[in-house]
Structure 1
Amino acid sequence: MAWLLLCLHLLFFHFPSFTSSFNFLCHHDESSALLQFKSTFTIRTDYYFCDELRLLKTTTWKNGSDCCSWHGVTCNNISGYVIGLNLGCEGIEGDIDSNSTLFNLSHLQALNLSFNDFSFNDFSNTHFPSKFGEFSSLKHLDLSNSDLYGEIPTKISHLSKLESLRLSGNGLVWEETTLKRLVQNATNLREMFLDETDMSSINLNFMDLIFNQSSSLVTLSLPRTGLSGIRKKNILCLPSVQELDMSMNELEGQLPDLGCSTSLRILDLSDCDFKGPIPSSFSNFTNLTSLSLSDNYLSGSIPSSLFKLQHLIHLYLSYNSFSGQIPSSLFNLTQLVTLDCSYNKLKGPLPKTITGFQKLVVLTLNDNLLNGTIPSALLSLPSLVNFDITNNQLTGYIGAISSYSLEELSLCGNKLQGNIPESIFNLENLTTLCLSSNNFSGVVNFQNFSKLQNLYSLSLSHNRQLSLTFESNVNYNFSQLRQLYLSSVNLTEFPKLSEKLPSLDSLDLSNNKLNGRVPTWLIETSRSLNLSQNCFTSIDQISRNIDQLFGLDLSFNLLEGDITLSICNMSSLQLLNLAHNKLTGIIPQCLANISSLQVLDLQMNRFYGSLPSNFSKSCELETLNLNGNQLEGYFPKSLSHCKNLQVLNLRDNKLVDKFPDCLQPLQYLKVLVLQDNKLHGPIANLKIKHPFPSLIIFDISGNNFSGPLPKAYLKCFEAMKKVSQVKDDGSLSYMETSLGYYSAKGNASYYDSVSVTTKGIKMTLVKIPTMFVSIDLSRNKFEGEIIDVIGELDALKGLNLSHNRLTGHIPQSIGKLTNLESLDLSSNMLTGVVPAELTNLISLEVINFSNNRLVGEIPQGQQFDTFSNDSYEGNLGLCGFPLSKKCGPEEPSPPSANKFWSKEKFGFGWKPVAIGYGCGFVIGIGIGYFVLLIGKPRWLVMMFGGQPKQRGNRRRTRVRRTNGSSMNQMVPMS
C-alpha cells in the first residue's frame, strides 16, 4: 500500500507534464490537423438535405480542448489516436484536395463525410482525391451525396480492410479494373452502396465474376448506375448477397434466373425494362421479405408459386402488364405489410375469403380491370391504413367498413352504387376519402363528414345522383380539410360552409349550375378555385379578392366584359384560366408582370388589341394560350424572357408580323401554333445554333409565309427525331404543367389542349399526347422543293404541306417516316412519280396527293392498297389502282396546264391569256383535228370522246389501328 501511495505522489507532483498529457488524450498533431481541416470550409446552417434542428458538430471544435471530446470525433481509448470522424450532414461547403490535412489522420477506421457540398467553390476540380486510398486502417467509408465528380482512383482498391463503402449520389465514374481489384482485395467487404455512380463502361456479363470474388458481400446497391447491354442469364447469381438493388438500369430482356441466390432477403429490379413473365425460379427465394418488380414491361399472370414465400413483407408489382386474375393464394400471406399491384391489366373479381393479410397496411390495386364487388373481408382488415382501388370496374354496394385504422380510402373511378355507408363516418383516422366518379345516390348531410376531424382531402365529384345538403345553422367545423372536390354533383347554389373550412386550400365546384356572386369567404380561404363549366357572368367581384390565390379556373362560363385592372393584385397566381367565355377588351399588360404565373389561358374569347408586351425577366410562364381572339400587331420581343415556355398557341387571331425569331432561345418550347393569322415573309434567319430542340408540334398554316421551306429550322427539331415509346398496355402520357399548389393526387396539374388538322379532319386534342408529333405548313406561299431533311424527323405522325407552291419531286426520304399517320401534299405543283419507298409507311392512315402534276403508276402494297380515288384526283398523269385509269406501255407526261393557272398562284389573270386567244384558237382547231384523227395522246382523246373518268367514293379509307398509338383524346371541332 505504501508503494502505491509513493507512485501516486511521484505521478502528480514530480511529473506535471505526464499529468498534462493524461488529461488530453488527443494527439496534438491530429488536433491541429482537424482544426486546419475545419478552416478550409464553411458551414451552411440551412442545408436542405438535413434536419433543421440538427446540432452542428464542428461548433464544439475549439483550440486548446481535447479533440477526443469533440462531437463527431472518436478516439482509441488507449492510444488516443483519432479512429472515427463523422461529419455527415454537417452542411460543409468547400474543397478536399490532396493537400488536405484530413489525410494526416492515418489511423482512421471510420470516415463519414456524406451529405456535404465539396463542389461549392469549383465544380470542375471536385475529383475524388486518390489519397483516400492511403487510409490503410479504414473499415467504413461514407462519401455519399457530397458532390464529388470524376473517375474513382485505382488507389481505392488498396483499402483492404474495408467493410462498408457508400459512394451514392455523386458524379463518380467506375472503371472495371478498379472495381474488380477493390472487391478482390477487400475480403471483408459486406456492403456497397454505389447508387447513381457511373458504371456504364462495365460489361454487364462480368458482374457476377466481379462480385462473386467477395464471399462476404451481403448488401449490393446499384440503382441508376447506367448498367445496360446484352447479359447472360445468371448475371446476378451472387450466393452470399442478401440485399440486391439494381433498379433504374436498362437491363432489358427477360428477368434473370436467380435460382442460386437463395440467401436474398431484399430484391429490387424495378424500372429495368424487363419483359416477359416472372420465372419460376423466384419461388426459391424462401428468405425473401421484399420484392420490387415495378415499372417494367412484365406480362402474363402473377404466378401462384410466388406466394409460397411465407416471409414476404413487401411486394411491388405496379406499372407492368400483368393480366388474368389475382391468385387467391396471395390473400393467404400472413406476413404481408405492403401489396402494390396498381397500373396493370388484372381482371376478374377479388376473392371473398381472405385468411391472411392480418398485418397488411398498404393495399393498392388501382388502375386495373377488376370487376365484381368489394369483398367485405377487405374492408375489415385490422391493420389496413391505405386502401386504393380507384379506376377499376367494380360494381354493387359498399358493405360495412370496420378497418378503423384506415387513413386513406380511395374507391373513385368505379361503378359503385347505392348510399354512402354510414360506417365511413366512424373512421376517425381517415385523412383521404375519394368516392368520385361512381354511381352513388341518396341524400347525404354534409355535416356527417365533420365527424372525420383528421380529414385532409374529400372528393365526391361526378356522382350525378348524389344529393348533398348543407345546414348553415349547425355548429360544426372541418378543421383539417384542405382539399374539397364537388364537381358534377348538381349544385345549384353555393354550399353553406362559411367559416367552417378554415384550412381550405383547393376547392373544385366545376360542372355544376352555379351563378351569381361568389361568396367572399370562399375566395378568401381557397388558394385553388375551380369554378369552370358553370353559369357565372362576371369576373369583377372575384378579381378584387384574390391576392392570395394560386389557381383560378373560370373557363366555360358566360363571362362578359373587360378584365379589370384589379386582377393585377394576384401576386401569387400560378394559373389563370378564363378560356371559352365572352370576354372583350384589351388584355391587361400587367398580366405579363406576374412573375409567379405559369399558365395563362384566355383562348376562345373576344379580346382585341395587341399582345402583352412587357414580359418580365423573371417570367415563369409555361403555357400561353390566346387562341381564338382578335389580337393584332406584332410579337413582343420580351416573350423571349419566358425561358420555361412550353406551349405558345396564338391561332386564329389577326397578328401581322414576320416569323417570331425572338422565340428561338426557348429551349423547352414544345408546341408552337400560329395558324390563321396574317404573318408573312420568308423563314430563314437563325440567331442561335440550335433553335427549338424540344418542339413536337409546329403549326404555322393559314398565313402568308413565302420563300423556301425553313430547312434551317427543320434540321434543328431534335425532339421530332426521337420516337417516344408506348408501354405494352398502350397507355399514353400527356403534356401537363405541374403547379405548386396541391390537388387530390399531389401537385395540381393543368393539361394543355390544342386544335389540329390531322388525317383530313379538324380535331381538338383535349390532352396533348407527348408522342403526337406534327408539322403543318399548309395554306401559305412556300415555294421550291420539299427538302430531304424532313425524312430525318422519325417521330412525325402528321405532315401537312398542302396548298403552297411547292415544285419538284416527292423526296424518297419521306419513306423513312415509319410513324407517319397522315401525309397531305395536295394542291401544289409537284411533279414526277409517287416514290415506291412510301409503301414502307406502315402506320399511314390518310394520304392526299391530289391536285399536283404527278405521273406514272401509283405504287402498291401495305397501306397504299387502302387509299381511295380522291387521294390522287387532279393528277392527270397518274394511273393504276385505285384509279380506273390503267397504266399502259406509253404513258405520256402529264398536261402542262391545270387549274392552278390563276392570278392567285402565278400573278397574272385573264388579260394576257386573251392576247393570245385569237391566234391560239385557229392553231388549236388544227392541232385538235390531228389529235383526234390519230387517237393520241389518250388522256386528251378520253376528255372528248373516250371513257369518262370513274370517280370513287370521296370518303377517305382509314386503317383502324389497335396498337394504342393513335390519338384517343381527340374530339371533332364544331
Structure 2
Amino acid sequence: MDCVKLVFFMLYTFLCQLAFSSSPPHLCPKDQALALLQFKNMFTINPDASYYCDSSHPRTLFWNNSTDCCSWDGVHCDKMTGQVIELDLHCSQLQGKFHSNSSLFQLSNLKRLDLSFNDFTESLISPKFGESSSLTHLDLFDSGFAGIIPSEISHLSKLHVLRIGGQYKLSLGPHNFELLLKNLTQLRDLNLWDVNLSSTIPSNFSSHLAILTLYNTGLRGLLPERFFHLTDLESLDLSFNPQLTVRFPTTKWNSSASLMYLNLYNVNFTGRIPESFSHLTAVQELDMSHSNLLGPILWNLTSIEILYLNNNHLEGPISHFSRFKKLKTLSLGNNNFDGRLEFLSFNRSWMQLEILDFSSNSLTGPIPSNVSGLQNLRQLILSSSHLNGTIPSWIFDLPSLRLLDLSNNTFSGKIQEFKSKTLAGVYLYQNQLEGPLPNSLLNQPILMFLLLSHNSISGQIASTICNLTMLTVLNLRSNNLEGTIPQCLGEMNENLWSLDLSNNSLSGTIDTTFSIRNSFRVISLHGNKLTGKVPPSLIICTYLTLLDLGNNQLNDTFPNWLGDLPYLKILSLRSNKFHGPVKSSRNTNLFPQLQIMDLSSNGFSGNLPISLFGNLQAMKKIDVNTRTPQYVSDQFAGYYDYLTTITTKGQDFESVQIFATNIIIDLSRNRFEGHIPSIIGDLVGLRTLNLSHNVLEGHIPASLQNLSVLESLDLSSNKLDGEIPQQLVSLTSLEVLNLSHNHLVGCIPKGKQFDTFENNSYLRNDGLRGLPPSRDCGRYDRVPQSTIPLELDQEEEEEEDSPMISWQAVLMGYGCGLVIGLSVIYIMWSTQYPAWFSRMDVKLEHIITTRMKKHKKRY
C-alpha cells in the first residue's frame, strides 16, 4: 500500500511540473513597460552617439505597446515573475540628457544594467543608481556622463561588475574611492578608466577581483603588494599613472598562474625587473613602456604574445628575445639593446609575428638578406638603429606589410617594388637611397604617410602619385627630383594635409589648381627653381598654416590676398624676385594668426607697410608658456614637423622645427625706404626683428622698448641717424644686436644687455661713442649730437687733405694741446667752472687722440 501511495505521489509531482512548464510565461508588467517607453522617449537616435563602437544598433527604435516588453531588444525578464531584470542598451545610439529622476529607476528588480557607449551629453550620474540594490552589473562606461560620481554607488554591495569612465572626465574623491572599495566586497571587474581619483590605492579591496582597470586615474604612492597576490587576477591595467610607484615582488606571485594581461605603461618603477617575472607563465600581453625600467631581461615568458617595453633603459643583446616562441607583437624601441639582427635569419618560431619594433637601439650591421617566415608581418620599425647596407628584398616582398619605418639610418641602394598592396605608412627619410620612386609605391590604395626626405632619390614626380587617394602627408624634401610639379596634386583628395617638395631641382611654374575641398595645412616648395607667380588658387586653402615658397625664382608683387587665410602662421617668400611695395588692403583682419613673415632677399620697395603691421594680431601677444615651449603642429604631430628656413640671432637655420613662441619679421635685403614706423612697438610678441640691408632713414623709434621678449634686433646697413634710444636698455631678453653701418651718433647706452654687446654691433657708425674704450663716453651719458660728429668729420677730412704734415707738426700740436689741456684743468679746478667746460675738455682730448691715431697709422 505504501508503495502505491509513493507511486501516485511521484506521478502527481511529475504532472504538476509538466503543467507548470507548459504554462505561458508571465507578461511584462504594464508599469514597467510604461517606464521603459518613457525612458525611450527621452532620447533621440544618433549613430554618432555610439561612435566608438565597432558596431551599433538602435535597440529602442522598435519598442512599442503592441508587443510584450520582455520581447523588446535589450530587455530580459524573469521567467517566473515577468519583472525586468536585465537591460542591455550598450551601443544603442542614444543621445540626450539622462535625468536624475529617470523612469529607469522604477525598475526595482534590475540585476544587470548596461548603458555603455551612448551619449548622455555630460549628464550627472544620479544618486538614485545607489537605490538599485539588486544590481550585480552596472556599466556606464563611455556614455557621456560627467562630474562627480555620487558616493551612493558604494551602496550597491552586490555588484560584481562596475564600469564607469571613458570619454568625459569624471571624478571620485579620495574618501569615496576608499569607501567604494571597502563596501563593494564582491567586485570581480572594476573599470574606472580616466576617472580622476587623485589618491593612493587603499588596501581594503575585494579579494575576488579578476579584472582591474584604473587607467589614467591620478593614482599616487606605492602600489600595495597585495595586488600581485590576488589569486583570481586575470587583467591589471594601471597605465598612465606616472606618480604611482610599483615595486615587484621578488618571490613568486600568487596571481602568476592566472594573470594574462598586465598593462603598466607610464608608471614609476623602482629597481630592476626581478626574476620572479619568469613565474608569469600565463601572461599573454604585457606593456611596461615609458616606465624607467633598468637592466637586462632575465626572464622567459613562455606564453607571451604581445610585449611592449619601448622607451625604457633596458639593455642586453637583442637576440635574447628569439626565445619567445609565441610572439605576435614585439616592441622594444628607445632602449639600449645591442647586437646584430642575424638571429632573424634562422628564427622559424615567429611565423605569427605581426609587429616588430627595434627602433632607436644600438644595433649594428646590415639587415640579413636570408630571412623567411615573417609572412604575417604588418609593421616593421627599425628607425634610428645605426643600420646600413641595402634594404633586403624580403622586406619588399612582405605581402601584408602596412607600416615600414627604416628612417634615420644609412641604407643605400634603390627602393624596390613593393609586393604589398596594403601599405599605410612608408618612412625611409634620412638615408642614402637613390633611384626613382617605384611605381608600386605610387599605386597604394590606402597609403597615408609617404616620407622619403633627405635621400638622393632622382627622376620626376609621376602624375600617378595622384592615385594615392588616402594620402595625408607627402614629404619628398631634400632629394634630387627634377621636372615640374604635377598639376593634379592640388586636386588629388581632401585628405592631404602636408605637401613638402622643398630642396629639390623642380622647375617650371606652379600650375597646381587647388580644389575647394582641400585640407592643406603645410605647403613647402622651398629651394627649387620655380618661376612665375604665386598661384591665386592658394586662397582656397582655408586651413593653410605654413606656406614656404622661399629660395626660388618667383617673379611677382606681394600677394596680400594671402592675408585672408585665417590660420596662416608661417609665410616665407624669401630669396625670390618679388618686387614693388608691400601693400595692404582695407581689410583690417589680414594675417590674423601670422607669427613668421619672411620677405627677405627680394626687390620689395617703398615704405615699410604700416597698415600691415597693424593687422598682425598674433604678434601683439606674448606666449606665457615659454617654460614648456611647444612646436607649431597639428593632430599629426609625430608624423610630420612644421619646418622652414629662418634667420635669427645673426645665423641661418635650415629646415628647423618652429616653436609656437617663434615670432619673426624678416624684411632684410630689400629696397625699403623711409622711417621705421613706431607701430612696430605694438608687436610685443616679436622675438626676431630684421630690417637690415635696406635704405631706411631717420631715428630708431623708442617704441621698440615695448618688445620685452625681443631676442634679436638687426637694423644694420641702412641710413639710420640720431642716437640709440636709452629706453632699449630695458630689453633684457635681447641676445643679439646689430646696428652697424648706419649714421648713428651719441653715446651707446649702458647697462643690462648693452654691457654684453661687442664692438661689431656698432661698426661704421662714426658718430657713436662708448666703444671701443678709446671712444669712451666717460661718466656722461649724452653728448651734443649736432657738434661733435660734424667737427670730427671735418677734422678727419682736413687731415686727409694735408699729406705734408710731419711728425714734428704732430708733436708740436700735441705739446700745445697738452699745455692748453693742463691750463684748462687748472682753471676748472680753481674756479669751479660749470660742467659744460669739463665736457669741452673731454671733447678736446678726444680730437687730439684721434689725430694721433690717424697719423700713427699713416707712418
TM-score w.r.t. the length of structure 1 is 0.63
1:612 aligns with 2:536: yes
One of 290, 293, 298 as aligned partner of 1:329: 298
Distance change in 2, residues 1:6/1:195 (3 Å): closer
1:382 aligns with 2:349: yes
Letter aligned with residue 759 of structure 2:
N
CA distance in 2, matches of 1:11, 1:370: 71
Letter aligned with residue 636 of structure 1:
W
CA displacement, residues 66-116 of structure 1 (integer Å, 9 cap, x when unaligned): 322333122233333212111010111233224532221122222111111
CA displacement, residues 634-666 of structure 1 (integer Å, 9 cap, x when unaligned): 6338x64x5554444455644745567958598
1:757 aligns with 2:647: yes
1:277-316 alignment, distance < 5 Å: 283=250, 286=253, 287=255, 292=263, 294=265, 303=272, 305=274, 308-311=277-280, 313-316=284-287
CA distance in 2, matches of 1:878, 1:261: 81
Query: 3-state SS of the aligned residue for 1:107?
Result: coil
Equivalent in the alignment of 1:970: none
1:131 aligns with 2:128: yes
Query: 3-state SS of the aligned residue for 2:483?
Result: coil
CA displacement, residues 571-628 of structure 1 (integer Å, 9 cap, x when unaligned): 876555565667667877x537354444444556665667738945x93434333446
Contact 1:675–1:703 (CA under 8 A) maintained in structure 2:
no
1:194 aligns with 2:83: no
1:250-269 alignment, distance < 5 Å: none
Letter aligned with residue 135 of structure 2:
L
One of 142, 147, 150 as aligned partner of 2:144: 147
CA distance in 1, matches of 2:608, 2:414: 60
Contact 1:598–1:622 (CA under 8 A) maintained in structure 2:
yes
Query: 3-state SS of the aligned residue for 1:763?
Result: strand
Distance change in 2, residues 1:525/1:592 (3 Å): closer
Distance change in 2, residues 1:797/1:879 (3 Å): same
CA displacement, residues 407-461 of structure 1 (integer Å, 9 cap, x when unaligned): 14344554545566677688776665556665667899x58x65x7988777777
1:69 aligns with 2:71: yes
Query: 3-state SS of the aligned residue for 1:946?
Result: helix
Equivalent in the alignment of 1:409: 380
CA distance in 2, matches of 1:778, 1:425: 48
CA distance in 1, matches of 2:687, 2:232: 50
Letter aligned with residue 492 of structure 2:
L
CA distance in 1, matches of 2:476, 2:52: 40
CA displacement, residues 643-694 of structure 1 (integer Å, 9 cap, x when unaligned): 55444445564474556795859887664545578999xxxxxxxxxxxxxx
Equivalent in the alignment of 1:207: 200
Equivalent in the alignment of 2:809: none
1:630 aligns with 2:558: no
Letter aligned with residue 623 of structure 1:
L
Equivalent in the alignment of 2:95: 93
One of 168, 171, 195 as aligned partner of 1:170: 168
CA distance in 1, matches of 2:422, 2:533: 50
Distance change in 2, residues 1:717/1:337 (3 Å): farther
CA distance in 2, matches of 1:198, 1:106: 30
Equivalent in the alignment of 1:340: 308
Distance change in 2, residues 1:706/1:24 (3 Å): same
Equivalent in the alignment of 1:394: 363
One of 480, 483, 487 as aligned partner of 1:537: 483
1:593 aligns with 2:564: no
Contact 1:738–1:749 (CA under 8 A) maintained in structure 2:
no
Letter aligned with residue 763 of structure 1:
F
CA distance in 1, matches of 2:616, 2:506: 40
Distance change in 2, residues 1:594/1:823 (3 Å): same
1:490 aligns with 2:435: yes
Deviation at 1:146, TM superposition (A): 1.8
After superposition, the CA RMSD in angstroms is 5.7
Deviation at 1:184, TM superposition (A): 5.0
CA displacement, residues 178-208 of structure 1 (integer Å, 9 cap, x when unaligned): 5555455545445443333455xxxx4x534
Distance change in 2, residues 1:284/1:662 (3 Å): farther
Distance change in 2, residues 1:223/1:644 (3 Å): farther
CA distance in 2, matches of 1:509, 1:162: 55
1:112 aligns with 2:114: yes
Letter aligned with residue 549 of structure 1:
M
CA distance in 1, matches of 2:600, 2:414: 49
Distance change in 2, residues 1:261/1:439 (3 Å): same
Letter aligned with residue 646 of structure 2:
V
Letter aligned with residue 387 of structure 1:
L
Letter aligned with residue 489 of structure 1:
E
1:853-872 alignment, distance < 5 Å: 868-871=758-761
Contact 1:140–1:165 (CA under 8 A) maintained in structure 2:
yes
CA distance in 1, matches of 2:239, 2:12: 72
Contact 2:357–2:380 (CA under 8 A) maintained in structure 1:
yes
Contact 2:770–2:776 (CA under 8 A) maintained in structure 1:
yes
CA distance in 2, matches of 1:502, 1:722: 41
Judging by fraction of residues, say which structure has more helix. 2
TM-score w.r.t. the length of structure 2 is 0.70
CA displacement, residues 675-715 of structure 1 (integer Å, 9 cap, x when unaligned): 578999xxxxxxxxxxxxxxxxxxxxx96145999799478
CA distance in 2, matches of 1:606, 1:810: 37
Query: 3-state SS of the aligned residue for 1:32?
Result: helix
Equivalent in the alignment of 1:943: 846
Equivalent in the alignment of 1:467: none
Distance change in 2, residues 1:758/1:707 (3 Å): same
Contact 1:579–1:601 (CA under 8 A) maintained in structure 2:
yes
Deviation at 1:522, TM superposition (A): 6.5
CA distance in 2, matches of 1:711, 1:207: 52
Query: 3-state SS of the aligned residue for 1:409?
Result: strand
Query: 3-state SS of the aligned residue for 1:84?
Result: strand
1:510-521 alignment, distance < 5 Å: 514-515=458-459, 518=462
Count of aligned residue pairs for this structure pair = 771
Equivalent in the alignment of 2:325: 358
Query: 3-state SS of the aligned residue for 1:95?
Result: coil
CA distance in 1, matches of 2:242, 2:842: 58
Equivalent in the alignment of 1:561: none
1:717 aligns with 2:621: yes
Contact 1:832–1:854 (CA under 8 A) maintained in structure 2:
no
Distance change in 2, residues 1:367/1:489 (3 Å): farther
Deviation at 1:517, TM superposition (A): 9.2
CA distance in 2, matches of 1:663, 1:299: 55
Distance change in 2, residues 1:894/1:825 (3 Å): farther
Query: 3-state SS of the aligned residue for 2:760?
Result: helix
Larger Rg: 2
Contact 2:359–2:381 (CA under 8 A) maintained in structure 1:
yes
CA distance in 1, matches of 2:263, 2:687: 36
Distance change in 2, residues 1:269/1:85 (3 Å): closer
1:304-703 alignment, distance < 5 Å: 305=274, 308-311=277-280, 313-319=284-290, 327=296, 329=298, 332-343=300-311, 350=317, 356-367=323-334, 371-376=338-343, 380=347, 382-383=349-350, 384-399=353-368, 400-401=370-371, 403-404=373-374, 407=377, 408-417=379-388, 450=419, 488-491=433-436, 514-515=458-459, 518=462, 533-534=479-480, 536-538=482-484, 542-543=486-487, 549-550=492-493, 591=514, 593-603=516-526, 612=536, 615=539, 619-627=542-550, 629-632=554-557, 635-636=560-561, 640=564, 642-651=565-574, 653-654=578-579, 656=581, 671-673=596-598
Deviation at 1:858, TM superposition (A): 5.2
